[in-house]
């Protein structure tokens, strides 16, 4: 089976974290991670364009087959959550335009897949992200690590059957037709 | 002054209403209106793509200079409001990509600009939309009328100075140089 390439995203209007992870069904390897930053004083449409183009750039560079996006966190501040919805919208749009498989996970599910508990602390998640990817330390900044965690979650909870690739069976006709 | 062309949008995940209105500073004229419908059973990213492409199609057809978008209505159902945020995100993205002037108005402000009161009923708004555009009846379906209302709001509250276009002054050189 050829390794799948997963782009994980932790959406945000100010900082969108991302991580690209290669996964061969057993071992996950970090390919790239980072953040897309927007300027606080820019109007929202301008920031949405920067996020959208930032994601499209990563897609063009790595051509992943899957996007894993952290689901909206129901913040107490409704306005913040709605603005976050705008950012998620342009991120999902980029994935759909590129015909990727899209996975969405609530934050607790990502934590559980990586640490075993949905109530894990940020430090616990970062520790396990580094361990699972055999890194000396967690990816920096923290938002990038959250993007990587989303990608790892899609790898670890992937329900695709991991069948070994067998050569096609060839039965001589003489054995089938007696 | 050449008339400005305003695309008004009432965003929705299921039905996005729109209206294109030409405005010369005094008279507003309806150019086109309609709705972009998405299929309820499709996944959200697919629906976002349809909304985005639908808006881009209208932009390509009419080349408006302004987009007027109804602001998010703080519905009681937070989930619905967040999903609506996704739709608004891809709509604003289309406007920003086309470098339009973007105006956003809360629903009450649109109602007030058109009927004189932010507490107007839907019927009152539709009646006034028809009257202001000199139409026999309100645009159908109701979501299209809401898109037209958003466009009209941008026309009526536009703060751009409405200076008459004067021919360039020509002073004979003889009068300047004695």
- The answer on pLDDT for A93 being more than 90 is yes
Q: Does B95 touch chain A (CB under 8 A)?
A: yes
Residues A128-170: pLDDT tens digits? 999 999 999 999 999 999 999 999 999 998 755 445 555 666 6
Best residue of B11, B93, B99, B106 to probe chain A, by most A CBs closer than 10 Å: B93
Give the whole-angstrom CA distance, residue A122 versus residue A109: 14
Nearest CA-CA partner of A155 in A6, A9, A17, A33 = A6
CA of B80 to nearest chain A CA: how many angstroms apart?
10
The pLDDT, as a whole number, for residue B80 is 85
Q: Give the domain CATH number at A119.
A: 3.30.420.10
Show the domain range for B136: 4-176
Chain B: residue whose CA lies nearest to A76? B78
The reply to whether A56 sits in an annotated binding site is no
Residue B169's pLDDT band (cuts 50, 70, 90): low
- Name the domain count of chain A: 1
- Closest by Cβ to A96, choosing from B45, B84, B89: B45
CA of A149 to nearest chain B CA: how many angstroms apart?
21
The pLDDT, as a whole number, for residue B178 is 54
Residue A39's pLDDT band (cuts 50, 70, 90): very high
Q: Do A48 and B84 touch (CB under 8 A)?
A: no
Is the Cβ–Cβ distance between A64 and A20 less than 8 Å? Answer: yes
Section B110-139 average pLDDT? 94
Taking each helix axis from N to C end, the angle separating B122-132 and B107-115, rounded to the nearest 10 degrees, works out to 50
CA of B56 to nearest chain A CA: how many angstroms apart?
13
Residues B81-116: pLDDT tens digits? 899 999 999 999 999 999 999 999 999 999 999 999
């Amino acid at each position: 089976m050829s390794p799948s390439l997963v782009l994980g995203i932790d959406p945000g209007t100010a900082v969108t974290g991302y991580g690209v992870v290669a996964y061969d069904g057993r071992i996950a390897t970090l390919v790239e991670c980072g953040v897309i930053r927007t300027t606080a004083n820019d109007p929202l449409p301008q920031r949405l364009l920067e996020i959208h183009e930032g994601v499209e750039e990563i897609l063009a560079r790595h051509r992943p087959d899957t996007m894993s996006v952290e689901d909206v966190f129901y913040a107490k501040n409704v306005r913040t959550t709605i603005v976050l919805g705008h950012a998620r919208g342009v991120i999902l749009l980029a994935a759909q335009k590129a015909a990727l498989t899209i996975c969405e996970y609530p934050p607790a599910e990502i934590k559980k897949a990586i640490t075993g508990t949905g109530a894990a602390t940020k430090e616990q998640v970062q520790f396990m992200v580094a361990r699972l990817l055999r890194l000396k330390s967690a990816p920096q900044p923290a938002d990038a690590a959250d993007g990587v965690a989303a990608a790892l979650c899609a790898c670890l909870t992937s329900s695709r059957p991991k069948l070994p690739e067998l050569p096609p069976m060839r039965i001589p006709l003489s054995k089938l037709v007696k």
